[in-house]
């Protein structure tokens, strides 16, 4: 099968993990046992790499701009948090490449614009 970095394949917060549709059952089992969370299969923006297409914390999630309404609804149901759309690094859609976040803060690439930063912070529940 295709090989990819684990971080590209897994989207996780303290409560839930998501892997791409068709992920190796062994990976799902390992994640569930190791992290103590339920593991779901999702695609984001039609891609089976949720870890690179979205960033989440325990408050909210940001996703690739081409994430469908159906995918957003499924993610909101699985993670039980609001899901919003964003870019990073001046329009880049693969969020994890330019962003690391937890429930207390976020670090973004230096090309990230002011409006992107404001949207990211507000959407992830980090201000206000």
Over the stretch 2-51, which tens digit does the pLDDT of each residue have? Answer: 678 999 999 999 999 999 999 999 999 999 999 999 999 999 999 999 99
Q: What is the mean pLDDT of residues 115-125?
A: 98
Domains in the chain and their CATH numbers? 6-123 (3.75.10.10)
CB atoms within 10 A of CB 37: 16
Q: What is the pTM of this model?
A: 0.95
Beta pairing, strands 83-85 & 99-101: unpaired
């Amino acid at each position: 099968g295709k090989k990819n970095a684990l971080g590209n394949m897994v989207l996780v917060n303290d409560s839930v993990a998501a892997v791409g549709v068709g992920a190796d059952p062994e990976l799902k089992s390992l994640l569930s046992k190791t992290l103590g969370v339920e593991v779901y299969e999702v695609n984001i923006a039609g891609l089976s790499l949720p870890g690179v297409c979205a960033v989440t914390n325990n408050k909210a999630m940001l996703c690739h701009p081409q994430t469908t309404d159906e995918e957003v609804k499924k993610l909101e149901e699985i993670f039980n948090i609001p899901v919003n759309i964003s870019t990073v690094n001046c329009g880049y859609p693969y969020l994890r490449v330019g962003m690391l976040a937890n429930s207390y803060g976020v670090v973004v690439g230096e090309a990230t614009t002011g409006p992107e930063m404001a949207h990211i912070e507000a959407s992830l529940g980090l201000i206000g």
